Amino acid sequence: MTGPTAVAAVASSALRVPDLGALRALDRLAGYLAERRALLLLAVERAVEPAGCRRSTPSTSGTALASIYRNSIVFHRNSMEGLAVGKLTVGALRAVLVVMLTGTVFVQAGLVWVLVTGSDPEDGSLPLTPLRVVTILGMVSVQVAVVCVWRLVSMVRRGTVFSHAAFRYVDVMIGAIVAAALVWFAVTALNAPGQRDDPGVSVIMAGVGVAILGVALIVLVLRTLLAQAVARDVEAAQMQAELDEVI
Model confidence pLDDT, tens digit, residues 72-105: 555 555 554 444 456 788 888 899 999 999 999 9
Stronger pLDDT, 43 or 122, i.e. the higher one: 122
pLDDT value at residue 66:
52
Q: How confident is the model at residue 198 (pLDDT cuts 50, 70, 90)?
A: confident
Q: What are the sequence ranges of the domains in the chain?
A: 4-80, 87-242
Q: What is the mean pLDDT of residues 204-221?
A: 92
pLDDT value at residue 235:
75
Q: What is the mean pLDDT of residues 122-149?
A: 83
CA-based torsion, 17, 19, 23, 25: positive or negative: positive
Q: How far is CA 82 from the centre of its chain?
A: 9
pLDDT value at residue 178:
94
Q: How far is CA 171 from the centre of its chain?
A: 13
Which residue in 188, 220, 186, 193 sits closest to 207, CA to CA?
188
**What is the rounded CA–CA span in Å between residue 143 and residue 63?**
53
Q: How confident is the model at residue 173 (pLDDT cuts 50, 70, 90)?
A: very high
With 90 as the cut, is the pLDDT of residue 163 above it? Answer: no
